[in-house]
Amino acid sequence: MSQPLYDDEFEQLFSRAQVDLPPHLKARLMTIPHLMPQPTFWDLRWIVPVASLTPAIFWLLITKLLPLMGIVTGGFVSWAKDLVLPVLPALSMPVIGICVSIFLASISFGIWIYWNSESRITLVYGRYLTGRL
Amino acid sequence: MDSLSDIEIIEQFQAGNYGEAFRNLVEIHGKTVYNIALFTLNDEVLAEDATQDAFIKIYRNLGKFKGQAKLSTWMYRIVKNVCYDYLKKRRPIALADMEIEMDPASDEGSPEEVAMSSWQHEELRNAIQQLPAKQRIAITLYYFQDKSYEETAAIMGQPLNTVKSYLHRAKATLAKSLDFALGEVYEPATV
């Protein structure tokens, strides 16, 4: 009866059993940086969400913070209301600001989901580019 | 090409050479990552998908790597987690469908040796499949990485003694099943 395998035998066995990275898989892996660019300064993934908060920030600034700081903003507020309310008379400025924010936030969320989707790479690009489908 | 150190790769990444840094990661660690996935999952297609998923996670999170551990330890921990996820949702594997692309170095030799080597691979992979998931991952990480208990424990996030226990039991089980299949091939040393 044979003796049990020892550590050296295991090492030899595992070493010989190693396989190379298949070329088509290597090609798939190399596409990842092209399909998933890292965020840069002008990346929409952070610019759009931040921009979506702009109306709310302006509303807060004009109606709450500036008066608190003693800055007279009555004329500016009435100018802003005159600009918007003739078009949407039933809505107040806060409601308009919140609606615009939600709208832009939903767009930015959609962009974020799309750009970060792993399935986009796995299902569409990775296998397609290397002829696996 | 001389392989870059972990620090050089991180520096490349931090300098904005994302593609180049990632290419170096694949060149240096791709084979090990793939082998860990292949021997853990025992399915070429799943192993390829797991390797790709792991490298996507590595690429997305490399900027957050703070150097608390070795880069390879951090990477193989991601691979281990991806393999765990695949094991949880795996489908039944048809072993007969598998076809192994052999390491060129191990292809050298007579046709009989090549055939024997291929048979050994299959025996090894089949034997590994009989192990519980944690033992399977432990022994794969141990032999495909640095052969270091500490590194294996760090990657698995388990205490050192627990990992030693996994490895001991895995080796005992493998030795038992492989001894039957491979004993005549290796003629192992007597005690």
Tens of pLDDT, residues A17-56: 788 899 999 988 988 888 776 666 666 656 666 777 777 7
Q: Is the same domain home to B18 and B80?
A: yes
Q: Is the same domain home to B104 and B83?
A: no
The partner residue sitting opposite A32, judged by closest CB among B55, B101, B189, is: B55
Give the predicted TM-score (pTM) of the model: 0.61
Chain A: closest CA distance from residue B157 (Å)? 23
* A20 phi/psi in degrees, rounded to 5: -75, 160
| Of B89, B122, B153, the domain-final residue | B89
Query: How many structural domains comprise chain B?
Result: 2
The CA distance from B172 to B129, in Å, is: 14
Q: Do B174 and A5 touch (CB under 8 A)?
A: yes
Q: Is the same domain home to B118 and B160?
A: yes
Q: Is the same domain home to B84 and B15?
A: yes
Residue B141 lies in a domain: yes
Tens of pLDDT, residues A88-119: 555 566 776 777 777 777 777 766 666 665 54
Residue B54 lies in a domain: yes
Q: Is the same domain home to B30 and B79?
A: yes
Residue B44 lies in a domain: yes
The torsion angle over the Cα atoms of residues B158, B160, B166 and B171, rounded to 10 degrees, is: 140
Structural domain for B145, as ranges: 100-185
Chain B: closest CA distance from residue A7 (Å)? 8
> A65 CB near a chain B CB, below 8 Å?
no
Q: Which of A113, A105, A96, A93 is nearest to A53 (CA)?
A: A105
Interface ipTM > 0.90: no
Tens of pLDDT, residues B13-30: 888 888 888 999 999 999
Q: Is the same domain home to B78 and B114?
A: no
Residue B60 lies in a domain: yes
Q: Is the same domain home to B143 and B110?
A: yes
Residue B190 lies in a domain: no
- For tokens 């050296």, what's the residue? A8
Residue B164 lies in a domain: yes
Domain containing B55 — which CATH number? Answer: 1.10.1740.10
Q: Is the same domain home to B77 and B125?
A: no
Tens of pLDDT, residues B35-71: 999 988 888 888 999 999 999 889 888 888 877 788 8
Total Cβ atoms within 10 A of residue B118: 16
Q: Do B171 and A7 touch (CB under 8 A)?
A: yes
Q: Is the same domain home to B58 and B110?
A: no
Residues 6+ apart with CB under 8 A from B63: A38, B13, B14
The partner residue sitting opposite A22, judged by closest CB among B39, B53, B101, is: B101
Domain containing B135 — which CATH number? Answer: 1.10.10.10
Q: Is the same domain home to B104 and B181?
A: yes
Q: What angle do CA A68, A71, A74 make, to 5 degrees?
A: 95
Tell me the pLDDT of chain B (191 aa) as tens digits: 445 687 888 888 888 888 888 999 999 999 999 999 998 888 888 899 999 999 988 988 888 887 778 888 899 999 989 998 888 876 544 333 434 444 444 444 555 555 556 666 777 888 888 888 888 888 888 888 777 888 888 888 888 889 888 888 888 888 888 765 555 444 444 44
| Of B89, B123, B155, the domain-final residue | B89
